[in-house]
Structure 1
Amino acid sequence: MGAPAKKRAQAEKKAQGSSNDSSSASRDPTQRSIPKSIPRLDGNRDPSLAAPIEYTRPVDLKNISEFLGAGGWYAARGITIPSSLPQRPKNFNTFGKETVITLNTFNVVKTPDTVVHQYDLHFTGDAQDYTKRVLLKKIFNSKGVKQALGEPSNLWVWDGNKLAWSGKRLDRDDYRITVDLDEEQGRPTKAGQRGNKHTVHLRHTRKVDFTNLRAFLQGQASWGNECIDTINFLDHVMREWPSQQYTQIKKSFFQRGEQRFDLGNGVEAFKGVFASLRPVLDDKFQKSLSVNVDVANGTFWRAQQLTRAIGQVFNCTPQQFQTRFKEARRDWKRSHLKKDLRVLRRVGVSSTHTKEPVQWTIEDFEDREATEVTFPDPDDRSKKITIAKYFKQKYNVTCMPGVPVVKMTKKIRKENVYLPMDVLSIDANQRYNTKLSDKQTSEMIKFAVTLPKERWAAVGHGVKLLNWANDPYLRHYGLQVSTTPAKVKARVLPSPNVHFGPGSKEAQLNPRDMVAGRWRLDGRKFAINNKDRPIKAWGVCAITGRGSVNPQAVQAFFQKFVQIYESHGGMVMAHPQYGKTPWMGPGNLADGGEMVQKVWNQTGNRYNQTPNLLFFVVNDRNVDVYRRIKKSCDIRFGVASQVLQAKHVLSASPQYISNVCMKVNAKLGGCTSVAKSNVIPKVAPKSASIPTMVVGADVSHPAPGAGSGEAASFAAITVSADPFFAKYWAEVQTNGNRVEMVTTSNIDEHFGFMANNWMQRIGQGKPPQRVLYIRDGVSEGQYAAVLEEEVRDMKECFKKLGCKELPKFTVVIAGKRHHIRFFPETGKGDRNNNPLPGTLVEAGCTHPFEFDFYLCSHVAIKGTARPIHYQCILNEGEWMAAELQSFIFEHSYHYMRSTTPVSLHPAVYYAHLAADRARAHLNENPVSSGKKESKADQQSSTGSSSKNVEIAPLMAIQNARGLKEVMWYI
């Protein structure tokens, strides 16, 4: 299909130029998050070449809109759209009940009918670095440039980088404008100083013609550069006016006066509006354009003195910070303080010691105080003067002792600039990019999660903020957007029959519980119990310390556990001497890994056999303690383990114990329930007899911020392990640093192992006829790579396993990072007026031609439900639309550890769980053989070079007792 991945990558590498941002890249919050390079959009790294970007080449994807679908991205790369790309089915799903859903999308009712001229911009002049967005913004918005371009009568649209559009063509196709920023600001350049003159070189590259877009939408033309250019231009027109009024972060806008919400540690949140234009199949089933409007929740640094911010970040007084700094200086490079201070890198600050504040950007913190750093004395350059002495003499400022000085990104006369932290103040409206702490996340959820009624009111507020009717750019170019939201006819798909084990009081869920999306396990037995792995040699370790539980409470809890587990059909073998009481004893965290060793030994000695289940009662939700326990149990002993919180053990609620029972049963080879379809036998009667394997995959990356340039990404793959698609095997491995596609070696080793397992256990020596591959979390630009790399590698695995006939692959991308929301009519949703489980939307917000749909399969406990966007990008297995939609929805009902349907297909959900659990398997020792290398998206202190990052593989699970055969990650 199209060009092979390798050739495509080579072609792109030749065609693309460098767009690495410098270390002193934009510190302006309105520009900081504009995508700097293709990886932000499609996962392919920009090569480090010095050649200028040529926008007339179709392979230069840097600036295109995300919402083009798979076909649009093929066309943008100059590759023929493969005939195998599934198109929208002719008929919509007719199963279930019809319901009316209001969407947060607004139709474009009028598009421009004039020709718009596109210009390529190139900046030259006195600056050393023309990748700084703040500088480019100053130049483009200067009086001299605006006047030369004919503003305000002729409004220009600029992408903030290298493209600009105008309704009028300039009198020359090569046009140069020179501007002196110092002169414009009324302070001419002094003798000996570097000048501030800049030239903007505009070159006419093409006309944006709207007739091609109309022809495409009417089905009379296929994807081409003209369509992509037009959508790209319209998307920028939509953003131009709001970006001038509000703080812009990508496609979201934040009004400066909005109410702040303190998240703690110097970080605050406030709400904004997200807006994005895209081609859709609209609510009237016309192929047109639509604008998606939603609430955006942004996290920002609090504008305050830097010293105060540091006190909040580290939750300490100035004296405590001085003590920490003193201790860290003993081994500064390896100190935790140096690492933790990275969170403040690239933060914009203003100096407060001068009459006019000067803006700077933090590069790093030094292991020296203001009394120890010297620089040439401005009054006598033959002498050196300390920062502390200079500030006292020049500004009468006494620098705070015992704290590090701050190194800035900007250099003066090629010398590094260092400033005392106590004369710096963090600038307002700067995005906080680092992962939030658990406490901050909890606060953010309180702030961000709102019920549908409030969410819809916020969408309305956002539409008013965008004020399309009075937008001068929309008016100038003739773009008109309706303020009436799209309303679509959706379907609530029929629920499956959910079956439990024989002997249950109610062997099947009643329809009322199915629609409510919540049921109880009382009186129900597991569909499959742990008869093959009964609990026999088991131990309980109650960790001592603050908040621990007394032994009597632990004993009472496990008596209840045995009673409830057996009531659900679980098997606990009675020991001749100890009956059904486990070994119980205290554990001390100070023992480290030896704590688990002691529990293992004492449990084994008691039963005179290797343990098959260990429980640990922990005192709080400390992730490090949790991972230490899991690492020992999984890697060293290969034993199923369950961690419980002390407070839950103390309360011993039957519902909590039932939830624990579900997880324990899964870890011992059982399964909670099985969903049987009411729809698929009608749509595809032969479906049940076709051997089918379901595969889920997810690649998770380290959170942005300190250390993420060296941290591992994790690739998790799950494979269905039974004919009901209830149980899943899972394999996880490191996947380089920020490498989005699952590597060939990971698929060979890990998918290959599970595929072989499937053939031996389920396929009776034969491969499946169909594979349904559900891939999580890739953007449209990466769809082709999923097929050309991951699916290709999976097919190779089957070849290596000796399969003469390869399975037919159907590939579905599951996306949750989108802004589409469903708002049912009052009284037609659940108690919060969220959509009912099974709500399927196929128009109003979907692609005009490709096979995608939005499905809300769960009940949102809090806030507004987020549907999942599913797009089918390959359908060799010839799944019918209704069959695929029902299959995905119905399986959400037998997620192993929940008595609710879940939002995402379990194959992908389990991949998330496995990836998260496998973080405990990180090999913290030095890198050994088997390392994975990737180019880190990281810059050195100068911002010019990248380095190879070596990522160690995970430590292998001890599988002597078959831990990998069960759902160890659940």
Structure 2
Amino acid sequence: MSQNTGRGRGRGRGRGRGQITQANLAGASVSSTSSKQNKTEIEETKSEFMTSTLTSVESQPEETKQITLFDPNTQFPEKPKKRFNLGQQFSVIANHFRINLKKNFKVIQYDVSITDSRQKEVLSAKIGKAMIMEYLKQFVVYSNKILYDFKKTLISLIELTTKQFEFEVDGKKFKAIFQAVETSKSLTIESNKPLYDVEQIRILQMLMTQSLRLNNQVLNYANSFFNLRQKPIEIGLNLDLRQGAFLSVRPSELGLTLNLNMATVALNRGDRNLIDVACEFFDTKYRQCNPKDLKLKISQNNFELLKFLKNITIRDHNKKLVKIENFYMNANDYSFKVKDKTMKCKDFFKMKYNIELKYPELPLITIGNNTHIPIEVCTTVTDRRSNLNPIEQSNMIRNANIKPNDRKQEIMNLFQGINLNADPILREFGINIDLRMTQLEASKIKGAKIEYGNKSIEPNTGRWDNKDKIFYDTKSVSKWIVIDFSGLDETSMKQYIKNFVSTAKLHSIGMANQLAILSGRNDQDYEIIMKFIEQKIQEFKVEFLLIILKNKDQKIYQIVKQIGDIKYGVITQCVDQSAIMKRDRDTGHFILNPTVGQLNSNICLKLNSKLGGTNFKLSSDDLNFKNYLKELYDSNVMIFGIDVNHPSPGPKKSTDPNAPKIFESVAAVVGSVDKNCCYYPACVLNQKNTERSALELVYHLNLAVFELITKYKKLNQKLPERLIFFRDGVSEGQFKPVRDHEMNEIRKACEKIESGYFPKISYIVVQKRHHTRLFPVKKEDQAMSGKFENQNVPPGTVVDTLIVTPDKFDFFVCSHLGIQGTSKPCHYFLLHDENNFDSNKLILFSFYLCHIYARSTTSVSYPAPTYYADLCAERGRVYNLNEMNFKKEIDGKYETSLIEIHPNLKDRMFYI
């Protein structure tokens, strides 16, 4: 069965920051015999517009091909002729600069192959950069005419006459060969063209950033650039925040635009001896430490230090980049055979490298392949750190949060500092850029009318409160206990629990008195803690467990969720002591936090949802709802959210060195089962495969969709007639393969439910990770925080012209009130539609769904089902830390495990 229903064509605050200037764009040349390289190894990533490497249905190996129920030739819905016309119009500025192509130009594409002296291919960005800089130095005729991605692709305005080139980096010899790609010989990029394809956008992106990437004083990660001359901001132990520029070429209704934004990155501080870093770790954690103290400190705190050091890339004595895996013996005691002679590690380093170890008594570090080296021969490397602790995250957010007016000025400072119009490469290709950001018209829609159990409200500022409000549909708790792992005193605990119960009753949640308040051991013996919790669940036969944590203990949190969600089917809620108590300024004693009532009201939002209740819903009396959405809601509609979470950036390690690399991801799918589209049970999928690229797919999506539609049918005694999917986390280069695969999986699930079951499906991608920002032109159009303007666009701001794509049905909506920093609108793309959405209906629908996020009295930044899928995927990471109950489906190189939530909870919003 196949159907083509497509309708058209596809597609930190502060002043005095150092700037990336044109003076820095020249870049240092690289000698053909020796190379002084930037100390940071830069691995380039593909542009968001590059052709995706995802495995689509039609390109899968024979053994994994699927029955095609969705026609892959279905085109994306075309851009609607009639745009959004609800609400009040006002002017905004977007951080898009129009790109002007003065002339057409033809380019020749070359495939670049770099090999070392052993004829082995090299794909290092460092080596690629060294090669092209030396090539341009020797062959000046190609200056400003060549673009190179430092890997495999070279673009030239003229034909290369020298197609083989030998060079040296750090004394090592390499050879580069340039092979023309035949299909590109006539590739022409035309000026004033309405549409540009993926390959042309990729070339233009290389054009915009080539000079920056050649500059040794500029650090480059994907499309972000950081000036190394700028003083960094220290945000943690051996951790700096750098601020720079993000540049991306975007196709739009204006033509081509340069999307320019501020960028931030957390970087490990480089060129530091690992002993100094270890000493600083213990200085911070305990007391003053020097290298002589390290042996004792490491023996006492092995796990803590190792956990910290695993976040840092190091350079060993051979200048090889490695990661630390463990500690091992020491250089005095560790011996091994060298040419049939047993030799101590410290003696080997003296003989082989002429290194006299100063601290041979310190533990060695293990760096893989059973290799152990002294800690003192290692230095840190400047590279990104992804796993930040809460303090580091807070410091980064605080420094990255820039008020809108300040951000707008900083963007202009970056634009003037980079000075692309003076770039000789852009001049050679006949390109210049407008000097001003784009001004355009936006619309402001009123917030949705919200209905509680006892009243309706009309919030127009993106925020409201629960005061005096009974939840729309409430549930009750009969058996529950409290376990305190924080050491809270008895009086404070009783005060808190009394407030919690009374707050729940104010919202009409039935709360029996707790059966017990128990003190749990917090001695970090987590096995004992787990057994204690399990024992108390069984002893009291509870349905709800309230846990008080100390210092946001993540390990106890993980144990609680695994036990509650998977093993016993008990609703759990964790609260940190820091939210309950605060230090009195006058006495210095800890007292009950005056805001504890608000805390408990927020907890009640979560508790009622976990119990199966609904806190509030969209009011059917809302005028826009009546005119545009009532028909949709009355037609047995089911709304889904889909998200994929990546627990680790690399492959899962195996004890078998010959085993294939296994990449893991956690996918979550939620689906509404009630007529108000407010209640979303979920499915969690653990995905394993041998291809990193396939992680973005929900490969066996049919498992989750089948289960969720079955829940809907069980509750409503009928099947949904319309399915609307909000998909998070898909970049534009992945639109077609992801949509084709997942639409096919959705159709497969429908066919499994009932032969001939063919509901109307719409598939919408929600993008959060983009760099478009909107700034109100007039002060009176700014959002209000209390009595004051906060410089952001107001909630309900819609943009669907000029800066949107020229060919796809896409739009921006800023649905939340930005309190800190600059608000980021959500970017929506309609990739498949059988429900005849027009602009007014789809934009209003998406915006109104931002008002029903059950755990918050705000209009959130993206639709509630997408938010729920994100929460659920994050919960899946907790399950993924330990092997839990999995129902597996294996298909070729892909393995999907449907995590078995306990029957008591699988129809509830356990994840919220």
Short-chain TM bin: 0.7 to 0.9
Partner of 2:483: 541
Q: Determine which of 271, 285, 292 is the counterpart of 2:243.
A: 271
- Deviations 1:322-380 (CA, angstroms, capped at 9, x unpaired): 34766899xxxxx88777654334x446x6xxxxxx84423656735444678999xxx
Pair 2,208 (structure 1): closer, same or farther in 2 beyond 3 Å:
farther
**What's the offset of the Cα at 1:402?**
3.0
**What's the offset of the Cα at 1:832?**
1.5
- Deviations 1:56-88 (CA, angstroms, capped at 9, x unpaired): xxx9xxxxxxxxxxxxxxxxxxx9984541111
SS at match of 1:786: helix
CA distance in 1 between partners of 2:837 and 2:676 (Å): 18
Partner of 1:69: none
Partner of 1:425: 379
Partner of 2:906: 964
Aligned length: 826
Partner of 1:781: 733
SS at match of 1:958: coil
What letter matches 1:535 in structure 2?
V
> In the alignment, is the contact (CA less than 8 A) between 2:331 and 2:363 conserved in 1?
yes
Q: Determine which of 609, 616, 629 is the counterpart of 1:666.
A: 609
CA distance in 2 between partners of 1:704 and 1:403 (Å): 31
CA distance in 1 between partners of 2:275 and 2:607 (Å): 49
> In the alignment, is the contact (CA less than 8 A) between 1:449 and 1:862 conserved in 2?
yes
Alignment of 1:523-534 (within 5 A): 523-530=468-475, 534=476
What letter matches 2:642 in structure 1?
A
Q: Determine which of 358, 381, 389 is the counterpart of 1:399.
A: 358
Pair 464,897 (structure 1): closer, same or farther in 2 beyond 3 Å:
same
Partner of 1:96: 87
- 1:586 maps to 2:526: no
Partner of 1:446: 398
CA distance in 1 between partners of 2:241 and 2:889 (Å): 39
Partner of 1:623: 554
CA distance in 2 between partners of 1:630 and 1:662 (Å): 18
Pair 405,470 (structure 1): closer, same or farther in 2 beyond 3 Å:
farther
- 1:508 maps to 2:456: yes
Partner of 2:128: 136
CA distance in 1 between partners of 2:237 and 2:680 (Å): 40
CA distance in 2 between partners of 1:587 and 1:261 (Å): 40
- Pick which of 416-425 and 268-277 moved more: 416-425
- Deviations 1:441-461 (CA, angstroms, capped at 9, x unpaired): 122112212221222222122
> In the alignment, is the contact (CA less than 8 A) between 2:700 and 2:896 conserved in 1?
no
- Pick which of 646-655 and 619-628 moved more: 646-655
> In the alignment, is the contact (CA less than 8 A) between 2:332 and 2:361 conserved in 1?
no
CA distance in 2 between partners of 1:661 and 1:141 (Å): 62
Partner of 2:702: 747
CA distance in 1 between partners of 2:483 and 2:136 (Å): 72
What letter matches 2:763 in structure 1?
V
- Deviations 1:384-432 (CA, angstroms, capped at 9, x unpaired): 86563466577573332233556889xxxxx9998643244335xx222
Q: Determine which of 782, 786, 804 is the counterpart of 1:829.
A: 782
Over aligned residues, Cα RMSD in angstroms? 3.8
CA distance in 2 between partners of 1:593 and 1:382 (Å): 51
**What's the offset of the Cα at 1:478?**
0.8
SS at match of 2:780: coil
Q: Determine which of 813, 821, 829 is the counterpart of 1:855.
A: 813
Partner of 1:11: none
> In the alignment, is the contact (CA less than 8 A) between 1:117 and 1:169 conserved in 2?
yes
- 1:160 maps to 2:159: no
Q: How high is the TM-score relative to the length of structure 2?
A: 0.82
**What's the offset of the Cα at 1:810?**
0.3
> In the alignment, is the contact (CA less than 8 A) between 1:281 and 1:843 conserved in 2?
yes
CA distance in 1 between partners of 2:40 and 2:248 (Å): 17
> In the alignment, is the contact (CA less than 8 A) between 1:270 and 1:298 conserved in 2?
yes
What letter matches 2:618 in structure 1?
A
**What's the offset of the Cα at 1:619?**
2.4
> In the alignment, is the contact (CA less than 8 A) between 2:115 and 2:121 conserved in 1?
no
Alignment of 1:32-431 (within 5 A): 32-35=42-45, 42=52, 44=54, 82-124=73-115, 126-127=117-118, 128-142=120-134, 146-148=137-139, 150-152=141-143, 155-170=145-160, 172=161, 175-181=162-168, 196=173, 198-203=175-180, 205=182, 213-214=190-191, 217-218=193-194, 227-245=197-215, 246-282=218-254, 288-303=255-270, 304-312=272-280, 317=289, 318=291, 321-323=294-296, 341-345=309-313, 347-348=314-315, 359-362=319-322, 367=328, 369-371=330-332, 388-389=346-347, 397-405=356-364, 420-427=374-381, 430-431=382-383
> In the alignment, is the contact (CA less than 8 A) between 2:92 and 2:440 conserved in 1?
yes
What letter matches 1:841 in structure 2?
V
SS at match of 2:463: coil
- Deviations 1:895-934 (CA, angstroms, capped at 9, x unpaired): 1111111011100101111222233434735998848699
Q: Determine which of 450, 464, 476 is the counterpart of 2:428.
A: 476
CA distance in 2 between partners of 1:399 and 1:761 (Å): 72
SS at match of 2:165: strand
**What's the offset of the Cα at 1:584?**
2.6
CA distance in 2 between partners of 1:81 and 1:180 (Å): 46
- Deviations 1:607-638 (CA, angstroms, capped at 9, x unpaired): xxxx3322222223111111212222222321
> In the alignment, is the contact (CA less than 8 A) between 2:84 and 2:840 conserved in 1?
yes
Q: Identity of paired residues, percent?
A: 23
SS at match of 1:893: coil
CA distance in 1 between partners of 2:128 and 2:834 (Å): 49
- Deviations 1:13-51 (CA, angstroms, capped at 9, x unpaired): xxxxxxxxxxxxx996766231279999746279xxxxx
CA distance in 2 between partners of 1:685 and 1:910 (Å): 23
What letter matches 1:816 in structure 2?
K
> In the alignment, is the contact (CA less than 8 A) between 2:102 and 2:191 conserved in 1?
no
- 1:520 maps to 2:465: yes
Q: How high is the TM-score relative to the length of structure 1?
A: 0.77
Alignment of 1:554-593 (within 5 A): 554-572=493-511, 580=513, 582-589=515-522, 591-593=528-530
> In the alignment, is the contact (CA less than 8 A) between 1:434 and 1:703 conserved in 2?
no
What letter matches 1:670 in structure 2?
G
CA distance in 1 between partners of 2:371 and 2:49 (Å): 32
CA distance in 1 between partners of 2:640 and 2:182 (Å): 46
Partner of 1:693: 638
SS at match of 2:491: helix
Pair 603,403 (structure 1): closer, same or farther in 2 beyond 3 Å:
same
SS at match of 2:850: helix
SS at match of 1:682: helix
**What's the offset of the Cα at 1:243?**
1.4
**What's the offset of the Cα at 1:464?**
2.1
CA distance in 2 between partners of 1:402 and 1:484 (Å): 62
- Pick which of 649-658 and 389-398 moved more: 389-398
**What's the offset of the Cα at 1:877?**
1.6
What letter matches 1:244 in structure 2?
L
Partner of 1:657: 600
SS at match of 2:457: coil
What letter matches 2:504 in structure 1?
Y
What letter matches 1:556 in structure 2?
Q
Pair 389,678 (structure 1): closer, same or farther in 2 beyond 3 Å:
same
CA distance in 2 between partners of 1:341 and 1:842 (Å): 47
SS at match of 2:163: strand
Pair 165,648 (structure 1): closer, same or farther in 2 beyond 3 Å:
closer
- 1:891 maps to 2:858: no
What letter matches 1:135 in structure 2?
I
Alignment of 1:797-946 (within 5 A): 797-802=749-754, 804-825=756-777, 826-830=779-783, 831-922=789-880, 924-925=882-883, 930=888
- 1:734 maps to 2:693: no
> In the alignment, is the contact (CA less than 8 A) between 2:763 and 2:833 conserved in 1?
yes
Alignment of 1:481-492 (within 5 A): 481-492=433-444
